[in-house]
């Protein structure tokens, strides 16, 4: 199934490339576009491109700590994310999920693969990342550290099989009793598209990812598809999300949003309470590119923010054709964003990879080492979208569990052992998080490139940065836009007292600087880090 879905996704991606080439002429800015507001829903019709009626605040830089347990997320918020200036953290699906007692159909060999969490059983927060009490305490701790929490909300479907759950339930597919919200509502056959007659495919699964009714009403990789078009299911899902908002959660990454569809997404969002800060929740929709018309990511921007999944591929192709080991050409990134066919920055959660794309070849991943770090630093500098820094665990097969007990409970993150990537802690990335926050909405200026793999640009008179994606160090003399002075390179050092713990860069009276940028490395300076 998994492979079949990938093949289908690939095929529809090809279709989309053609569609994008032929069809799109979006006017908004690319690189340098503003990080932005999330969104609330507007009435969606096939024609509608109206602006959202409500907006949520700019989340700032978000860390995506995929499948870190709640204790480790809390500690990271206090020790690393808050002090470095991350504004938010995305966490893995916290609802109770399947805990397999047997292997699947023979295509997998790991009892507790990472993807168990995408098969909800009920809406108690008894997951392999910890208990409901630990979740609540994590949200409180992160918020105290100045880091808002965003939850991966799995609301399109329930499990693909009957089994046991991390919360200790035993259940059958299409029969999930006592969901723990909405007066302990249950889901029965009548709450699934399997029994509603809406799914037109012969198999009951999504066979054609360009067919609207199949995409919305048939089963995605065999997962029991909820009737999100009914009031009962909408109320139950909203009760789950409102419980999370009540605990202090600030918004959601909506799993499989393309398979829920705009009308149902808007109706669910309309039932959501404000966050404890009095703002509308972030509503970040997972919509793979490749679908026509209303199935395209662009067509979901009137319902919310969308995940930058097409951007992920452009970033991969600019830096490296993973997994071919070819070096790409980052000079191509002069144009990136709406002008390169992507959704506008103000409506996009941008990232170099997530848990799907790091495994399926669409993205760079931690195995690319310095090149992956460089790409993440570039994203933070670009100003495109709300940038996420992805930090998870290492793997050798696509199904590997995160480090866990034999029972599947995820163990504490240990950044020293090689099992966790801890990319959020990389010193150069921490420096670029600060740089990103400092330059704010300043426009990109003084773009320079060598036509291949060295680029440099400023953001207003506030910051300047250079990236070298090539194999040799490169010496460049360029206009920085900053005033004369000696600055700390915040990728390799920190300002401490009157000096820099790393190298410095001198800007001359005419704003120019001569800088050597190391192979697969970056340098960055900002106006408030002069030595
Ligand atoms: C997503 N976005 O739309 C997630 O980002 C993605 O990671 C999820 O798939 C998917 N949608 C469903 O939430 C992952 C994983 C799949 C896995 C599912 C469910 O990529 O391989 O499917 O989670 O755990 C697995 C098996 C598959 C089986 C299915 C149902 O790999 O072979 O299909 O469970 O039992 C019969
Ligand atoms: Ca659906």
Per-residue pLDDT of the chain (531 residues; tens, 9 = 90+): 344 344 333 333 333 332 222 222 222 223 333 333 333 333 333 333 343 445 678 899 999 999 999 999 999 999 999 999 999 999 999 999 999 999 877 777 899 999 999 999 999 999 999 999 999 999 999 999 999 999 999 999 999 999 999 999 999 999 999 999 999 999 999 999 999 999 999 999 999 999 999 999 999 999 999 999 999 999 999 999 999 999 999 999 999 999 999 999 999 999 999 999 999 999 999 999 999 999 999 999 999 999 999 999 999 999 985 566 678 899 999 999 999 999 999 999 999 999 999 999 999 999 999 999 999 999 999 999 999 999 999 999 999 999 999 999 999 999 999 999 999 999 999 999 999 999 999 999 999 999 999 999 999 999 999 999 999 999 999 999 999 999 999 999 999 999 999 999 999 999 999 999 999 999 999 999 999
- Per-residue pLDDT, 326: 76
Radius of gyration of the chain (CA): 23
Q: Which is catalytic among the residues 76, 152, 286, 368?
A: 286
Beta-carbon contacts of residue 202 (< 8 Å; ≥ 6 apart): none
Look at residues 157, 234, 235, 225 and name the one whose alpha carbon lies nearest to residue 193: 225
- Per-residue pLDDT, 107: 73
Span from the CA of 153 to the centroid of ligand 2 (angstroms): 14
- Per-residue pLDDT, 15: 31
C-alpha of 355 from chain center = 9
| Three-class SS state of 7 | helix
Out of 115, 153, 399, mutate this one to test ligand 1's pocket (max ligand atoms within 8 Å of CB): namely 115
Task: Please give the CATH topology (third level) of the domain spanning 444-529.
Answer: Immunoglobulin-like (2.60.40)
Intervals of CATH 2.60.40.1180 along the chain = 444-529
Q: Which ligand is nearest to the CA of 92?
A: 1
Look at residues 314, 308, 305, 266 and name the one whose alpha carbon lies nearest to residue 284: 305
Intervals of CATH 3.20.20.80 along the chain = 2-439
Closest-CA residue, ligand 1 atom 13, reads 118
Per DSSP (E only), the strands in 263-361 are 282-285, 305-307, 320-321, 326-327, 348-350
Span from the CA of 232 to the centroid of ligand 2 (angstroms): 15
- Per-residue pLDDT, 324: 64
* 161 CA: nearest ligand 1 atom: 35
Out of 221, 357, 398, mutate this one to test ligand 1's pocket (max ligand atoms within 8 Å of CB): namely 221
Any catalytic annotation for residue 255?
yes
Beta-carbon contacts of residue 505 (< 8 Å; ≥ 6 apart): 486, 487, 489, 513, 515, 523, 525
Q: Which is catalytic among the residues 116, 152, 255, 358?
A: 255
Q: The tokens 């390179």 sit on which residue?
A: 489
Identify the CATH homologous superfamily for domain 2-439.
Answer: Glycosidases (3.20.20.80)
Query: Are 312 and 360 in contact, with CB atoms under 8 Å apart?
Result: no
Q: Helix 262-270 vs helix 231-246: angle between axes, to the nearest 10 degrees? A: 50
* Range list of H helices, 346-492: 357-360, 370-382, 427-439
Span from the CA of 497 to the centroid of ligand 1 (angstroms): 51
Q: Is 457 near ligand 1, meaning CB less than 6 Å away?
A: no
* 107 CA: nearest ligand 1 atom: 32
Q: What sign has the CA pseudo-torsion 307, 311, 313, 319?
A: negative
Count Cβ atoms within 10 A of the Cβ of residue 203 and give its class: 0-12 exposed, 13-18 middle, 19 or more buried: exposed
Any catalytic annotation for residue 207?
no
Q: Is 398 near ligand 1, meaning CB less than 6 Å away?
A: no
C-alpha of 319 from chain center = 19
Give the tokens for residue 276: 């404890």
d(CA 339, CA 30): 5
Tell me the pTM: 0.91
Q: Count Cβ atoms below 10 Å from residue 190 Cβ, excluding itself.
A: 12
């Amino acid at each position: 199934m998994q492979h079949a879905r990938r093949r289908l996704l690939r095929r529809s991606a090809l279709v989309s490339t053609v569609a994008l080439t032929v069809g799109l002429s979006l006017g908004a800015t690319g690189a340098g576009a503003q990080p932005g507001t999330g969104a609330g829903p507007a009435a969606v019709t096939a024609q509608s491109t109206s602006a959202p009626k409500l907006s949520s605040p700019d989340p700032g830089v978000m860390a995506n700590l995929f499948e870190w347990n709640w204790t480790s997320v809390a500690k990271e918020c206090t020790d690393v994310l808050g002090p470095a200036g991350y504004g938010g953290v995305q966490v893995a699906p916290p609802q109770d999920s399947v805990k397999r007692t047997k292997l699947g159909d023979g295509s997998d060999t790991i009892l507790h693969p990472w993807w168990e969490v995408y098969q909800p059983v009920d809406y108690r927060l008894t997951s392999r990342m910890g208990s409901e009490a630990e979740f609540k305490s994590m949200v409180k701790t992160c918020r105290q550290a100045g880091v808002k929490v965003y939850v991966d909300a799995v609301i399109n479907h329930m499990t693909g099989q009957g089994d046991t759950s991390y919360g200790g339930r035993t259940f059958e597919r299409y029969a999930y009793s006592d969901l723990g919200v909405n007066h302990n509502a249950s889901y029965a056959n009548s709450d699934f598209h399997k029994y509603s007659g809406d799914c037109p495919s012969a198999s009951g699964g999504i066979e054609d990812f360009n067919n609207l009714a199949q995409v919305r009403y048939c089963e995605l990789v065999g997962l029991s598809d909820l009737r999100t078009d009914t009031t009962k299911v909408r109320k139950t899902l909203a009760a789950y999300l409102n419980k999370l908002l009540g605990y202090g959660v600030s918004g959601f990454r909506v799993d499989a949003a393309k398979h829920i569809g705009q009308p149902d997404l808007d109706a669910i969002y309309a039932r959501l309470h404000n966050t404890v800060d009095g703002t509308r929740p972030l509503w970040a929709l997972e919509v793979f590119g490749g679908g026509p018309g209303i199935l395209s990511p662009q067509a979901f921007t009137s319902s919310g923010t969308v995940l930058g999944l097409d951007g992920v591929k452009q970033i991969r192709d600019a830096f490296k054709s993973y997994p071919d080991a070819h070096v790409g050409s980052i000079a191509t990134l002069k144009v990136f964003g709406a002008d390169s066919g992507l959704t506008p920055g103000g409506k996009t959660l941008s990232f170099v990879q997530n848990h799907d794309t790091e495994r399926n070849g669409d993205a760079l991943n931690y195995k690319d080492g310095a090149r992956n770090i460089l790409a993440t630093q570039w994203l933070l500098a670009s100003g495109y979208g709300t940038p996420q820094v992805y930090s998870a665990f290492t793997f050798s097969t696509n199904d590997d569990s995160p480090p866990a007990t034999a029972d599947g409970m995820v163990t504490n993150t240990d950044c020293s052992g090689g099992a966790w990537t801890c990319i959020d802690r990389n010193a150069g990335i921490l420096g670029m998080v600060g740089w990103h926050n400092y330059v704010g909405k300043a426009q990109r200026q003084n773009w320079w490139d060598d036509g291949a793999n060295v680029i440099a640009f400023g953001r207003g008179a506030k910051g300047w940065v250079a990236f070298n994606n090539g194999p040799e160090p490169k010496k460049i003399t360029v206009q920085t836009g900053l005033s004369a002075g000696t600055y700390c390179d915040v990728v390799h050092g920190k300002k401490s007292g009157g000096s820099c713990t790393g190298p410095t860069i001198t800007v001359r009276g005419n704003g120019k600087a001569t800088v050597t940028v190391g192979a697969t490395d970056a340098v960055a300076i900002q106006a408030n880090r002069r030595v």
